[in-house]
Amino acid sequence: MSKKPFLWVAACCIGISLLGGGRAAARNAQWQAQADEQGSLQVVVVAAASSGFKAKLSLWEKQGGRWIRTLGEAPAVIGREGMGKQKEGDGKTPEGLFKLGKAFGSSVKPPGLKMPYAITDSSDYWIDDPESRDYNRWIRTEGDPSRLWNSFERLKQPLYRYAMVIEYNTHPVVAGKGSAIFLHLWRSSSKPTAGCVAISESTMLKLMGRLDSAREPMIFMSNR
């Protein structure tokens, strides 16, 4: 029996692998150049499948003038409609490089985290009502939130036991462009988010154990 078909398939697979590697190299070069421009020394990279909501998350740090991956690829999930957020409620995750803002959660500050951290309670809300002047902002109130806003998220909830703000649509805030984009805990590896990035608690704690606000941490999200 001729082995040519096998050799053709093998060569084809090598070509696909090299093509994928080329895309990854180009993607890495893109965010590394942008991070260098903004003075960041830590970047969380979220690489999503071309379709669906499955992704991989890793942490890269600038050491000795080179970008080194210090946390290996871990499973993550993104918005139910994939990447490319355009507006409020579209179920998509933003693409691009963004600053990681304040860390927060309903639990005590994780060990090793060198970033501002706030413990949430029942008075903490994130406003996703595009008609409100508080849109895409963290607001505290002890009153009835439904009397103040048409839509809001309670920040004291299980998925936000540990979480970090992704600075999307924050400076300036554009009404209706999208709000409440966080890196938070997932429901499971088989359930998407409404637009955030979600990971397991074990991965979150490993990540938080390395992040340092002095290193200007950022997050880069794109398709693989």
Name the DSSP letter for residue 83: B
Residue range 149-161: average pLDDT?
98
> Residues of 91-125 as b/e, b for ≥16 C-beta within 10 angstroms?
ebbbbebbbbbebbbbeebbeebebebeebeeebb
23 pLDDT band, cuts 50/70/90, is confident
Average of pLDDT values for 76-84? 98
Task: Give, as one character, the DSSP assignment of residue 189.
Answer: T
CA separation for the pair 82, 193 (Å, rounded): 9
Q: Cα–Cα distance between 175 and 178 in angstroms, integer? A: 8
Q: Which pTM was predicted? A: 0.89
154 within 8 A of 138, measured Cβ to Cβ: no
**Which one has a higher pLDDT value, 50 or 166?**
166
Identify the weakest region by mean pLDDT among 1-15, 37-51, 150-164: 1-15
CA pair distance 200, 189, nearest whole angstrom: 8
| 8 A C-beta contact, residue 161 and residue 183 | no
Distance of alpha carbon 113 from alpha carbon 149, whole angstroms: 33
Is the per-residue pLDDT at 15 higher than 60? no
pLDDT of residue 24: 81
Q: State the Cα angle at 36 between 17 and 24, rounded to 5°.
A: 5
Q: Which amino acid appears at position 119 of this protein?
A: I
In the predicted model, what is the mean pLDDT of residues 196-210?
98
Q: How far, rounded to the nearest angstrom, does the alpha carbon of residue 224 sit from its chain's CA centroid? A: 14
Amino acid present at 154: R
Q: In angstroms, rounded to a whole number, what is the distance separating the alpha carbons of residues 27 and 21?
A: 10
Nearest to 96 by CA among 175, 169, 22: 169
Q: Report pLDDT for 120.
A: 98
State how far the Cα of 221 lies from the Cα of 200, in Å rounded to an integer.
17
Tell me the residue ranges of DSSP E strands in 64-116. 66-77, 96-105
**Tokens found for residue 192:** 């998407």
Model confidence pLDDT, tens digit, residues 42-73: 999 999 998 999 999 999 999 999 999 999 89
pLDDT of residue 21: 65
